[in-house]
Amino acid sequence: MTEEIIIAGFGGQGVLSMGKILAYSGAMQDKEVSWMPSYGPEMRGGTANVSVIISDERISSPIISQFDTAIILNQQSLDKFENSVKAGGTLLYDPNGITKPPTRKDINIYKVAATEKSAELGMSKVFNMIVLGAFLKVKPVVTEEFIEKGLFKSLPERHHKLIPENLKAVQTGKELVETVNKS
Amino acid sequence: MAKELKLMKGNEAIAEAAIRSGCDGYFGYPITPQSEVMEYLMLEKPWEKTGMVVLQAESETSSINMVYGGAGAGKKVMTSSSSPGISLMQEGLTYLAGAELPCLVVNVVRGGPGLGTIQPSQADYFQATKGGGHGDYQLYVLAPASVQEMYDFVFDAWDIAFKYRNPVMILSDGAIGQVMEKLYVGDYVPRWTDEQIRKIAPWATFGKPTTRDHNIITSLELDSAKQELHNLKLQAKYREMEKNDVRYEEINCEDAEYLFVAYGSSARIAQKAIQLGREKGLKVGLLRPITLFPFPTKRLAELSKKVKGMLSVEMSAGQMVMDVRLATENRCKVEHYGRFGGMIPTPHEVLEAMETKIINA
Amino acid sequence: MTFNQEIIKPENLVYTKTKVLTDAVMHYCPGCGHGRIHRIIAEVIEEMGIQDKAICIAPVGCSVLAYNYFEVDSQGAAHGRAPAIATAIQRLYPDHHVFTYQGDGDLAAIGTAETIHACNRGENIVIIFVNNGIYGMTGGQMAPTTLIGMKTATCPYGRDVQLNGYPLQITELLAELPGTCYVTRQSVHTPAAVRKAKKAVQMAFENQKNKKGTSFVEFVSNCNSGWKMSAPAANKWMEENMFPKYPVGDIKVNGEKVIKNA
């Protein structure tokens, strides 16, 4: 199994940390992982993206241009990455702020209203974990047990008390995800 | 050795390796995409753990000269930077090579020329492997292709640097610096004591005991006859490196008819291209130089008698390909494929280049 | 020979060269201040008993070969970089006595950044700065400290501020930095000046022993070759022209600026 993922959105949405938690969780589950962020000035208030690979084999290239899954959190990223999803692949997006929804028919498309839900629950800090939950429902590349371990490993100790809230958000995401298109 | 699993960026792995390999001093100046090296060190406060000195200098010119000072005093010292900063260090590097000082310089390469871009590149190959500054000299150049190698090569660098009394460069790039991968770290190697330094580096300026004359570290010799002798000694040293310390990796070379030659990030991409090629029934393999100087010339010469063609894949306009051509001496077709300015080739386009430029050409 | 042996007896000895200077014959021009400044430093190192801990960083300039004369472990620096080199060694060997020996071009032109930042960090080093207002080694070109109107090979009609800017009083500038502990300007053109200068060098190395931060000793000196004068004339010219711009005396002691009486 090799899953090549792009996560893209605005800086500040927790894109990089979501990828990090996913990578840590994969590593905890004894998989090969890589996490490759976009970096530099484009991060300052602009868009941010990270590619994460989780695999049972040695990862050849951490630099990828086509993805099994795209997790998309704003319109610019949707415009940029919709066509980079492999045929038969998966696109998951948050409809908040999306004016031109994805149109491809040859990929599986899901949406998760994580922005809306996290605001409603007063959980805006764990918005990204709702999205992660939705992804894991669609693509269970790591099991929940290892998500918890990944959180422990990736969060600084002073934030460990927030782990239960994070795990609750993952559950919320799993329940919230909706199918838009089946290829 | 106890192995501990971590998940780290390549830049952080360099810093962690510095602490664990008994490095005495790091001197640096911030530049993207390698600033995490010093940031990580400052956060870890190694001066409390191992006594390692970490200092942010006022420029790369200054940090490379701090390295000169520390190295001349027998300490394990290093700096890291990215392309524009490394250009600024060329003065210091030629002095280090001339004065025969062991040290480690990490270049996390970004696209150029000039201020260029902050995205990954391999366009500093010539600068790294052909001297870089003025005069006839060589750095020993290691090219890591993973976070684990970023870590491991710091340890290897000290061995080589002190074996030959020569600066070692780790030539990485923005992708390997920024990517986070699994990393196994080992035990701490203690820093050398003053006693050990006296034995390992008796030539160093650690203070003159009454038992010997004063030691002098310099690259100056105004007597041309003596300067020529010094140059001959340096050249002999580089020939020794070529004889004893060439490193490379072969992937799918046994039955290969066509060979990718690639290092660092490009080697990772070529590896994926091999996978795609083999799925199509193409007998492709990879020769990955791990040391760029000394270059695996001999091995490439041997392989050139076996294969039908080679494609040098680099994130540059074609630099390493010159060394591949020199090694193969027209025995097989050698072409170059590259993207540059911060662009990274995809495995698909690399395979396509192999097909159009070599296999079907 | 027997005649000499008669004279060379300990009881006849009135002066001896410090053992912190080698027996190498110095290449400096007759009348140049470098020899006296070398001697002062070497004597202080001997008297303080720190020869085994002293490390000299030689510059590019007339004193490029200083490491051949000081019988201490030494490094030759790239042009202007001595304070960076000294910074690293002093930090890696905090109980040692690292000092740089630099000319005006090295310290105040090409090495300005290294000088200012080492002083600003308060590196526990001693900086010896020899200012003769000219590039001696390369054949008498304009230095950052060349006086207005003074003729050199690259300002043959005299330094013109429109063209070349002003003489740089780097020592006063460095005294403004909180990192400097001791900043002084000395000369070695008379026996009395030599005695005073030696006390200054001594204070610099004592400060370093007590880890007080950067000590900076400027020597206003002559360059009779570069100035194209006899040595006595050069000393006189220095007193009349250099001293008004670069007045001799302490500028900062123990971290406090010295208030000059009006």
- Written as one string, the DSSP assignment of chain C is -HHHHHH--GGG-S----TTB-SPPP-SPTT-SHHHHHHHHHHHHHHHT-TTTEEEEE-SSGGGGGGGTBSSEEEEPPTT-HHHHHHHHHHHSTTSEEEEEEEHHIIIIITHHHHHHHHHTT-S-EEEEEE-SEETTTTSEE-TTPPBT--BTTBTT-B-HHHH-----HHHHHHTSTTEEEEEEEE-SSHHHHHHHHHHHHHHHHHHHTT--EEEEEEE---HHHHTS-HHHHHHHIIIIIHHHS--EEEEETTEEPPPP-
Q: Are residues B129 and B10 in the same domain?
A: yes
Report d(CA B144, CA B153) in Å as an integer: 7
Model confidence over B275-304: pLDDT tens digits? Answer: 999 999 999 999 999 999 999 999 999 999
Q: What is the mean pLDDT of residues A43-67?
A: 85
The partner residue sitting opposite C73, judged by closest CB among B24, B53, B208, is B208
Tokens, residue B126? 């010539």
The interface residues of chain B toward chain A in range 134-193, judged by CB-CB distance below 8 A, are 174-175, 178-182
Query: What is the CATH topology of the domain spanning A2-181?
Result: Pyruvate-ferredoxin Oxidoreductase; domain 3 (3.40.920)
Q: Where are the alpha helices (DSSP H) in chain B?
A: 10-20, 36-44, 46-49, 60-72, 83-88, 90-98, 125-129, 147-164, 174-178, 194-200, 224-244, 264-279, 297-304, 320-328, 347-353
**What was the ipTM of the complex prediction?**
0.94
Residue C202 lies in a domain: yes
As a whole-number percent, the residues of chain C with pLDDT over 90 amount to 92
Tell me the one-letter amino acid at B169: M
Cβ contacts below 8 Å, chain A against chain B, sum to: 63
Tokens, residue B284? 């492709």
Residue A138 half-sphere exposure toward CB, CA atoms < 13 A: 31
Report d(CA B64, CA B78) in Å as an integer: 8
Q: What is the mean pLDDT of residues B67-81?
A: 98
- pLDDT at residue A47 greater than cutoff 90: no
| The Cα angle at residue A17 between residues A3 and B188, in degrees rounded to 5 | 90
CB B200 within 8 A of CB B159: no
Q: B333 lies in which domain range?
A: 249-359
The partner residue sitting opposite B33, judged by closest CB among A40, A62, A153, is A40
Residues of B in contact with A37 (CB under 8 A): 178
pLDDT band at A141 (very low <50, low <70, confident <90, very high): very high
Write down the pLDDT at residue B34: 96
Residue B231 lies in a domain: no
Q: Are residues B155 and B293 in the same domain?
A: no
Residue C191 lies in a domain: yes
State the sign of the Cα–Cα–Cα–Cα dihedral A23, A24, A27, A31: negative
- DSSP code at position B217: E
Q: Which of A169, A63, C91 is nearest to B173 (CA)?
A: A63
Which of C81, C110, C125 is best to mutate for the B interface (most B CBs within 10 A)? C81
Which of A6, A28, A39 is best to mutate for the B interface (most B CBs within 10 A)? A39
- Distance from B314 to chain A by nearest Cα, in Å? 14
Q: What is the mean pLDDT of residues B174-202?
A: 96
Inter-chain residue contact B32 with A59, CB threshold 8 Å: no
State the sign of the Cα–Cα–Cα–Cα dihedral C56, C58, C63, C66: positive
Q: Which neighbouring-strand residues pair with B9?
A: B180
Tokens, residue C247? 């007045």
Partners for A (CB, 8 Å, 3+ pairs)?
Answer: B
Domain count for chain B: 2
Residues of C in contact with B53 (CB under 8 A): 88, 91-92
Inter-chain residue contact B119 with A24, CB threshold 8 Å: no
Tokens, residue B61? 């010119």
B220 touching C, CB under 8 A?
Answer: yes
Inter-chain residue contact B182 with A24, CB threshold 8 Å: no
End residue of a domain, out of B180, B195, B210: B195
Q: Are residues B142 and B278 in the same domain?
A: no
Q: Are strands B4-9 and C134-135 parallel, antiparallel or unpaired?
A: unpaired
Q: Are residues B64 and B168 in the same domain?
A: yes
A135 touching B, CB under 8 A?
Answer: no
* Residues shown for chain B: 361
Q: What is the mean pLDDT of residues C234-254?
A: 97
Using DSSP, state whether B42 is helix, strand or coil.
helix
pLDDT band at A45 (very low <50, low <70, confident <90, very high): low
- Distance from C92 to chain B by nearest Cα, in Å? 7
Domain count for chain C: 1
Q: Which residues of B198-218 are buried (b: 16+ CB within 10 A; e: fewer)?
A: eeebeebbbbbeeeeebbbbb
Inter-chain residue contact B181 with A24, CB threshold 8 Å: no
Residue C148 lies in a domain: yes
Residues of B in contact with A33 (CB under 8 A): 7, 180-182
pTM of the model: 0.94
- Distance from C31 to chain B by nearest Cα, in Å? 24
Whichever domain contains B314, its CATH number is 3.40.50.920
For residues C227, C230, C236 and C238, what is the CA-based torsion angle, rounded to 10 degrees? 20
Which of C92, C116, C119 is best to mutate for the B interface (most B CBs within 10 A)? C92
Q: Are residues B126 and B273 in the same domain?
A: no
Residue C105 lies in a domain: yes
Nearest residue of A to residue B177, measured between CA atoms: A36
- pLDDT at residue C24 greater than cutoff 90: yes
Whichever domain contains C223, its CATH number is 3.40.50.970
- C8 or B99: whose pLDDT is higher? B99
Model confidence over B315-331: pLDDT tens digits? Answer: 999 999 999 999 999 99
Report d(CA C35, CA C68) in Å as an integer: 12
Report d(CA A104, CA B284) in Å as an integer: 35
How many other C-beta atoms can be found within 10 angstroms of the C-beta atom of residue C173? 15
As a whole-number percent, the residues of chain B with pLDDT over 90 amount to 98
Inter-chain residue contact B214 with C117, CB threshold 8 Å: no
- DSSP code at position B41: H
Partners for B (CB, 8 Å, 3+ pairs)?
Answer: A, C
Q: Are residues B190 and B48 in the same domain?
A: yes
CB C213 within 8 A of CB C220: no
Q: What is the mean pLDDT of residues C154-183?
A: 97
* Average pLDDT for chain C: 95
Model confidence over B208-254: pLDDT tens digits? Answer: 999 999 999 999 999 999 999 999 999 999 999 999 999 999 999 99
Tell me the one-letter amino acid at B78: M
* Average pLDDT for chain A: 92
Model confidence over B90-138: pLDDT tens digits? Answer: 999 999 999 999 999 999 999 999 999 999 999 999 999 999 999 999 9
**At A141, phi and psi to the nearest 5?**
-75, -25
Q: Which of A60, C88, A180 is nearest to B272 (CA)?
A: A60
Q: Which residues of A70-98 are buried (b: 16+ CB within 10 A; e: fewer)?
A: bbbbbeebbebbbeebeeebbbbbbebeb
Write down the pLDDT at residue A56: 95
- pLDDT at residue C262 greater than cutoff 60: no
- Distance from A171 to chain B by nearest Cα, in Å? 25
Write down the pLDDT at residue C155: 96
Write down the pLDDT at residue A41: 56
Residues of A in contact with B36 (CB under 8 A): none
Residue B68 lies in a domain: yes
Write down the pLDDT at residue A13: 87
Residue B205 lies in a domain: no
Cis peptide bond N-terminal to B347, omega within 30 = no
A62 touching B, CB under 8 A?
Answer: yes
Residue B51 lies in a domain: yes
Report d(CA B127, CA A77) in Å as an integer: 37
User: Roughly what angle, to the nearest 10 degrees, separates helices A127-138 and A144-154?
Assistant: 150
Inter-chain residue contact B69 with C71, CB threshold 8 Å: no
Write down the pLDDT at residue B265: 96
* Average pLDDT for chain B: 97
Residues of B in contact with A41 (CB under 8 A): 118
Inter-chain residue contact C67 with B77, CB threshold 8 Å: no
Report d(CA A75, CA A68) in Å as an integer: 19
Residues of B in contact with C88 (CB under 8 A): 25, 27, 53, 55, 65-70, 73, 77
Report d(CA A118, CA A126) in Å as an integer: 7
Lowest-pLDDT choice from A37-46, A102-111, A141-150, B296-305: A37-46
Q: Which of A59, C55, C87, C182 is nearest to B180 (CA)?
A: A59
Q: Are residues B259 and B340 in the same domain?
A: yes
- Distance from B252 to chain A by nearest Cα, in Å? 13
Model confidence over C35-51: pLDDT tens digits? Answer: 999 999 999 999 999 99
B81 touching C, CB under 8 A?
Answer: no
Which of B50, B216, B226, B227 is best to mutate for the C interface (most C CBs within 10 A)? B216
Model confidence over C69-103: pLDDT tens digits? Answer: 999 999 999 999 999 999 999 999 999 999 999 99
- pLDDT at residue A44 greater than cutoff 60: no
Domain ranges of chain A: 2-181
The interface residues of chain A toward chain B in range 160-179, judged by CB-CB distance below 8 A, are none
Model confidence over B28-55: pLDDT tens digits? Answer: 999 999 999 999 999 999 999 999 999 9
pLDDT band at C12 (very low <50, low <70, confident <90, very high): confident
Inter-chain residue contact C92 with B75, CB threshold 8 Å: yes
Tokens, residue C138? 């390369």
